[in-house]
Amino acid sequence: MSTAGSWSSIYGFVRRYPVLPAIILIGLAVMAIFAPILAPLDPLDSDLSKVKAPPAWIDGGTFQYFLGADGIGRDLLSRIIFGSRISMMVAGVVILTGGTVGVVLGLVAGYYGGVRDEVIMRLVDVFYAIPFILVALVVAVVFGSSLGLVIILLSLFSWPIFARQTRALTLQLKTKDYVAAAKIAGASPSRIALRHIVPGLMNVVIVIATLQVGNLILTESVLSFLGIGIPAPQPAWGSMIAEGRVFITSAWWIPLMPGAAVFLTVFAFNFLGDWLRDYYDPNLRQL
């Protein structure tokens, strides 16, 4: 086969499948799982002689602190690696809790309709109407911000999206023939819901979840900017960027290294989510 032919088939493969995001996300997963092995230094260890040390390729940098060090002398690379754990953990928990609650409520609303539907949808509307940032600020100032609080706030922020889309899809799936058939055969509502509708929802849920991850990571960084994010000394990417932003001219690597990490991760998740949506079902394009 000629080289031109193999290049074009590689090109075709890359165009059709989300290769770039996959690489990024696999890298992210490896970082998160193997963090203690991969990180060269302890992310919480502060060496005051290395304060604001530049990355290795800049004058004054060392190989040991490969991406440089932050304002109190902690290794940026190690903090970014461990930070991937925090980002993934927070995103995972939030999507699991918010997603489960949202899907269940959306399912109930869509399947049963009536009063349950009204109540749940009004609840969704109230949550959409509340300015999230303001309420997050108030709650954090009252209770003091912590990892747990951030997770709770982000979950409350994300369940309505799952609920709304699940309900819409449930309404569609409810009318399908095989559901009617199951009803005629005498299956109980919960059995119908679980066995026939939920499988149809999974694609939607996966797409929403993938697209939400990026949103969650960015929202966490905004919470840190406002002073109510994941508290120090945890190496959360959002707080690293927020704490480091004052160094933008004097030690740009401090905010921009975690910034790049956030950027690549969110980009990858959004790209993947778009692709999954196109791949699964054209009906999902309303997402």
Partner 1 sequence: MLRYLASRLVYLVLVMIGVSMLVFGLSRLSGDPRYLYMTQGSHYSQEVWDARGRDLGLDKPFVIQYLTWAGRAATGDFGDSVWHKRNSLDLIIERAPATLQLSGVAYLFAILIGTGLGIASAVMRGSIIDLLIRGFALTGQAAPPFLVAIILIFVFAVNMHLFPTSRRGDWSSFVLPVATLAWLGSASLTRITRSSMLEVLDSEYIKLARAKGVGRTSIIFKHALKNALVAPLTLSAILFASFITGTVVVETVFAWPGIGRLALEATLHNDFPLVTGLTVFFSAIYLVSSLVSDLIYAYIDPRVRLY
Partner 2 sequence: MKESFSMYVKKYARHAALFSLLLLTAALAISCSGGDEGDTAATAKPSSPAATAKPSSPAAATAKPTSTNVPAPSGPAGKVVVGLDTVAPLVQHPRKDINATGGIGQNFSVYENIVKAPFVGPPSPPPQDSTKYSPSDQGIAESWVIAPDLSSITFKIRSNIPWHDNGGSWGFVTAEDVAWTYNEAFALDSVSNGAEEIGDGMKAGFEVVDSMTVRQNIKPDGFDPTWAWLQGNAGFNGIVIVNKKAFDELGEELYASTPIGTGRYQANEWIADDKVELEAVVGHWTGKDANVKNITILSMPEAATREAALRTGEIDIAQLPAQVITSVVEAIGGTVQEIGIARPQGLQMAGNYWSQKCSGCDNGVMERPGFDTAISVGLDKFPWIGNPADPASMESARKVRWALAMTVDQQSIIDNILDGRGRVNYAWENILPNDPTHKDSWVIPYDTDKARQFMAEAGYPDGFDMEMWNYSNGSPGTISAANAVAAAWRTELGIEVSIDGTEYGARRPQTVDKSINVPFVHGINWIPGSTSARYICPGQGQVVGFTMDDEQCDLGLSNATESSLEVRIDNNIANQDYLTEWMLFVPMFQAPAILFVVSPNIESWTPYNAQDVLPNNLESMTLK
List contacts with partner 2 (CB under 8 A).
Answer: 42, 44-46, 48-49, 51-52, 71-74, 141-142, 144-145, 227, 231-233, 245-250
Q: Residue 125: which of partner 1, partner 2, none does it interact with, CB under 5 to 8 A by kind?
A: partner 1
Question: Contacts from 60-69 at CB under 8 Å and sequence distance 24+?
Answer: 64/40, 65/41, 66/40, 67/253, 67/257, 68/251, 68/253, 68/254, 68/257
Range in contact with partner 1 (rule: CB under 8 A) among 25-33, 98-106, 183-191, 265-273? 265-273
| Residue 222 binds to partner 1 (criterion: CB under 8 A) | yes
Q: Which of 77, 85, 73, 70 is nearest to 41 (CA)?
A: 77
Which one of partner 1, partner 2, none is in contact with 235 (Cβ closer than 5 to 8 A by kind)? none
Q: Least distance to partner 1 from the beta carbon of 182, Å?
A: 27
List the one residue from 38, 117, 225, 280 that touches partner 1 (CB under 8 A). 225
What is d(CA 45, CA 42) in angstroms, rounded to the nearest whole number? 5
List the structure tokens of 278.
Answer: 């196109």
Q: Which does 278 bind (CB under 5 to 8 A by kind): partner 1, partner 2, none?
A: partner 1
Cα distance between residue 54 and residue 65, in whole Å: 8
Q: Three-state DSSP class for 69? A: strand
For partner 2, give the closer residue by CB, 45 or 278: 45
Q: Are 236 and 145 in contact (CB under 8 A)?
A: no
Largest CA distance in the chain: 76
Q: How far, rounded to the nearest angstrom, does the alpha carbon of residue 179 sit from its chain's CA centroid? A: 33
141 binds partner 1 (CB under 8 A): yes
* Residue 5 near partner 1 by CB under 8 A: no
Identify which of residues 252 and 267 has a Cβ nearer to partner 2 in the complex. 252
175 phi and psi angles, rounded to 5 deg: -85, 0
Distance in Å, CB of 76 to partner 2, minimum: 15
Site of tokens 């999902």: 284
What is the rounded distance in angstroms from the CA atom of residue 207 to the CA atom of residue 56?
A: 39
- Contact between 259 and partner 1 (CB under 8 A)? yes
Residue 74 binds which entry of partner 1, partner 2, none, with Cβ cut-offs from 5 to 8 Å by kind? partner 2
Provide the 8-state DSSP code for 103: H
Tell me if 271 contacts partner 1 by CB under 8 A.
Answer: yes
Report the nearest approach of partner 2 to the CB of residue 82 (Å): 14
Residue 115 interacts, among partner 1, partner 2, none and using kind-specific CB cut-offs from 5 to 8 Å, with: none
Residue 203: Cβ-neighbour burial (10 angstroms; 0-12, 13-18, 19+): middle
The binding site for partner 1 (CB under 8 A) comprises 122, 125-126, 128-135, 137-139, 141-142, 214, 218, 221-222, 225-227, 238, 241-242, 245, 248-249, 255, 259, 262-264, 266-267, 270-271, 274, 277-278, 282-283, 285-287
